[in-house]
């Protein structure tokens, strides 16, 4: 096999800047050989992004540098709800769609938030059980989760990482309006 057909893991081609490549290289060195290495790398890469997501260029570079197949990296990034492949809004509203929350009105909360945030005409990505939509101004991302594990508090909503229980439409509207006005 000619050497030109071999993958060069030492110097993958990349659309990333030198600083971005250096950041990932330092992360790899920090986590090399440790349990959960890939999860740790993805978490730190996403946290560094102002829009809290995993750019494809980063994932491709990571695959080239670690030798982990890109398909495996993508599978992990799409399996875990905490990872995002698209830029997220400044604020997040995450509505539980588990059975307890569903029977106590989470679908109505979801529909009300779509209206309030102007996401009615936006295309749902992933269906009602795994939805993620961001407003065009990138102020809000509306998401759903299968279950928060807080069933006694149903319906449950997470607003900017704060769990709210026994939420009704009016209370959620007030939370979002406060964020729009710069409060909370």
The token pair at 24 is: 């990932």
State CA 91 to chain mean position distance: 12
Of the chain, the percentage scoring pLDDT greater than 70 comes to 85
DSSP string spanning 61-108? HHHHHH---HHHHHHHHHHSTT--SSPPPSEEEEEE-SHHHHHTTHHH
What mean pLDDT, rounded, does the chain reach? 88
Of the chain, the percentage scoring pLDDT greater than 90 comes to 75
In terms of residues, how long is the chain?
184
Render pLDDT for 26-36 as a digit per residue (tens, 0 to 9).
999 999 999 99
* Number of neighbours of residue 32 by Cβ within 10 angstroms: 10
Render pLDDT for 12-25 as a digit per residue (tens, 0 to 9).
566 899 999 999 99
- φ, ψ dihedrals at 56, nearest 5°: -55, -35
Q: What number is the average pLDDT over the span 136-165?
A: 93
Q: Which helix (H) or strand (E) holds 119?
A: none
- Closest by Cα among 23, 25, 1 to 12: 25
The token pair at 138 is: 């990138």
Q: Between 36 and 6, where is the model more confident?
A: 36
Q: What is the structure's pLDDT at 47?
A: 93
pTM of the complete model beyond 0.85 = no
Render pLDDT for 71-119 as a digit per residue (tens, 0 to 9).
999 999 988 878 999 999 999 999 999 999 999 999 999 999 999 999 9
Structural domains in the chain?
3-79 (no CATH), 91-180 (3.40.30.10)
Q: Which helix (H) or strand (E) holds 47?
A: helix 37-48
Confidence bin at 127 (pLDDT 50/70/90): low
The token pair at 148 is: 């928060």
Q: Which helix (H) or strand (E) holds 179?
A: helix 169-180
d(C-alpha 152, C-alpha 166), whole Å = 9
The token pair at 79 is: 């399996």
- Closest by Cα among 97, 100, 94 to 151: 100
CB 27 within 8 A of CB 44: yes
Confidence bin at 128 (pLDDT 50/70/90): low
């Amino acid at each position: 096999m000619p050497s030109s057909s071999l993958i060069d893991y030492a110097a993958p081609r990349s659309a990333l800047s030198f600083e971005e490549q250096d950041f990932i290289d330092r992360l790899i060195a920090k986590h090399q050989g440790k349990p959960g290495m890939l999860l740790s790398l993805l978490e730190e890469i996403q946290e560094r992004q102002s829009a809290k997501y995993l750019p494809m260029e980063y994932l491709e570079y990571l695959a080239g540098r670690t030798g982990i197949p890109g398909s495996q990296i993508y599978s992990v990034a799409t399996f875990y709800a905490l990872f995002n492949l698209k830029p997220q809004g400044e604020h997040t509203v995450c509505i539980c769609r588990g059975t307890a929350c569903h029977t106590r009105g989470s679908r109505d909360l979801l529909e009300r938030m779509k209206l309030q945030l102007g996401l009615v005409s936006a295309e749902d990505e992933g269906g009602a059980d795994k939805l993620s939509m961001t407003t065009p101004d990138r102020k809000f991302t509306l998401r759903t989760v299968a279950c928060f594990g807080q069933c006694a508090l149903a319906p449950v909503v997470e607003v900017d990482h704060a769990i709210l229980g026994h939420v009704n439409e009016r209370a959620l509207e007030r939370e979002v309006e406060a964020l729009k006005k710069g409060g909370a």
